[in-house]
Structure 1
Amino acid sequence: MAAPGFRFTHYDLKEQRAGTTIEVTLSAVNNVRLMTAVNYQRFTEKLDFKFVGGVAKKSPIKLTIPDGGHWHLVVDAEGHHGLADSSVKMIAPPTISAPASAQRKAS
């Protein structure tokens, strides 16, 4: 796999459910790109790719996984002074509970 011509940090987020929030903490302005496995492959091959995110001017930044599947997060310094130190925290989507009326047992 060829890498892009700029420095980046890669986080393999594995399989994630839609609605999961990714909280990224950065030490400087950098690009934050959330992408599918196919788009990450295209990113590493220097091909056109799609992503959620962009320039993160504040920290932390929160992104939401739009669809269930295998996801990757890239923090990169393209167009910036240097690669930021970064950390990632996953916040599970809220569980949907049944309405109270559906939880009652029939008598």
Structure 2
Amino acid sequence: MSKPTFRFTHYDLKEQRAGAIIEVTLSAVNNVRLMTAPNFQRFKETLDFKWVGGVAKKSPIKVTIPESAHWHLIVDMEGHHGLAESSVKMIAPPAAAPRINKAS
């Protein structure tokens, strides 16, 4: 089993609800890739994988969790000069509006 040939930082975000926002702070331009657990496994095995994100040219950037699942965030230097220092902060999804029942 092969591994990616470039350096990366991995953040295991665990189970996250759709709509949660991840704020990523970087010290340099790097790729930011948000992926599900099965896609992270494919990434580690250098197979085709699906992800959300892209080249982060500014910092911080915010990425929204598209669906409830176990998520991983990768910051990587593929195509860039070096691996950026990075940090991740979770921002809770907006609370659902309270339901108001009409009186009959």
TM-score, structure 1 length as denominator? Answer: 0.91
Aligned to 1:25: 25
Higher alpha-carbon Rg: 1
- 1:84 matched to 2:76? The reply is no
Deviation at 1:98, TM superposition (A): 1.8
Identity %: 76
4+ aligned runs moved over 3 Å, structure 1: none
Compute the RMSD of aligned alpha carbons: 1.4
Deviation at 1:2, TM superposition (A): 4.2
Instruction: Tell me the distance in 2 between the aligned counterparts of 1:2 and 1:9.
Output: 17
Corresponding letter in the other structure for 2:48: D
- 1:42 matched to 2:27? The reply is no
Instruction: Tell me the distance in 2 between the aligned counterparts of 1:20 and 1:58.
Output: 20
Corresponding letter in the other structure for 1:3: K
Which structure 1 segments of 5+ residues have no match?
none
Instruction: Tell me the distance in 2 between the aligned counterparts of 1:2 and 1:91.
Output: 34
Specify the SS of the correspondent of 2:96.
coil
Which structure 2 segments of 5+ residues have no match?
none
Corresponding letter in the other structure for 1:81: H
Aligned residues: 103
Instruction: Tell me the distance in 2 between the aligned counterparts of 1:14 and 1:2.
Output: 25
Instruction: Tell me the distance in 2 between the aligned counterparts of 1:58 and 1:36.
Output: 24
Aligned to 1:5: 5
TM-score, structure 2 length as denominator? Answer: 0.93
- 1:28-81 deviation per Cα after TM superposition (whole angstroms, max 9, x unaligned): 000000000010000000000000000000000100000001000000000000
Corresponding letter in the other structure for 1:61: I
Moved more, 88-97 or 31-40: 88-97
